[in-house]
Amino acid sequence: MFDLAWSEIALIGVVALVVIGPKDLPEAIRGLARGVQKLRRMAGEFQSQADELVREAKLDEVRNSINEIRSFNIKDTLEKAVDADGSIRKTFTEDPLKPGFSGGYTPPASAMEGAGAATGSAEPAKPAAPAFIPPAYAP
């Protein structure tokens, strides 16, 4: 930190000997040593507190990552990927035999043209009756 050569240290020692005096010089050196020791201790405490803050900050990041992993819902993620518009879920939750049923499968126009040409009529063919009618809906 400080770059002091031997000649500079000797000059400081001679000035201290003249100013303080030979009788009080050992006590002044001890006091200076205690002050330096106290400064080092304070610097060490500051460094340890700074290190602790860094560790806590990193632990918070790790805790946040773990909480994100814990709250990750694979079911919802897959459902959004497979059924983005909700049509598949709607097919399973709505009853197609009820009169208010909306939606359902609409075949492409090319398939409709092929069906109309096969029967010889210009209007599209009616869908076939379901293979199974639950007893609650039987006439």
39, pLDDT greater than 90: yes
Q: What is the pLDDT of residue 45?
A: 93
Higher pLDDT, 121 or 12: 12
Helix (H) or strand (E) holding 77: helix 74-82
Task: Compute the mean pLDDT over every residue in the chain, rounded to the nearest whole number.
Answer: 78
**122 touches 116 (CB < 8 A):** yes
pTM, to two decimals: 0.38
pLDDT per residue over 57-77, tens digit each? 787 788 888 888 888 888 888
Question: Between the CA of residue 57 and those of 47, 70, 102, what are the distances in Å?
Answer: 15, 20, 54
* Rounded CA separation 20/30 (Å): 13
CA 44 to chain centre: 34
